[in-house]
Structure 1
Amino acid sequence: MKAKVGDRLILEPTHPGPPRRVGVITELHHEDGSPPYTVRWLDDGHETLVYPGPEARVEPGHT
């Protein structure tokens, strides 16, 4: 998985319960765009360090 600042990180739950989460990548920790990422979640505005798992995907940010 590779990303850029401004891309969206989408977490799609693989089982019933937790809702889908969408966040904007605000910081990369590796120059090659590999995880982990600092993400600002759109639902609550909090920023967290994320090590995406298999339920995650990256979508290009809007330019």
Structure 2
Amino acid sequence: MAAANPWDPASAPNGAGLVLGHFIASGMVNQEMLNMSKKTVSCFVNFTRLQQITNIQAEIYQR
């Protein structure tokens, strides 16, 4: 028996999906809260930017 694909919206809901659905229906969680949880924290953005700069510098020095 194959496991349900968690990325396929047509697959059977799992426990986390059922709990989240209950929280949304009760008003405990709303779309704004869910969107906030997806935002990148600025320190990670700066870390990513620093990593990109370091990679570019390494590429330049290698030439």
What band does the TM-score fall into relative to the shorter chain?
Answer: under 0.3
* Structure exhibiting the larger radius of gyration computed from Cα positions: 2
TM-score (norm 1): 0.16
Query: Which structure carries more relative contact order (alpha carbon 8 Å, separation 6+)?
Result: 1
Greater percentage in strand: 1
TM-score (norm 2): 0.16
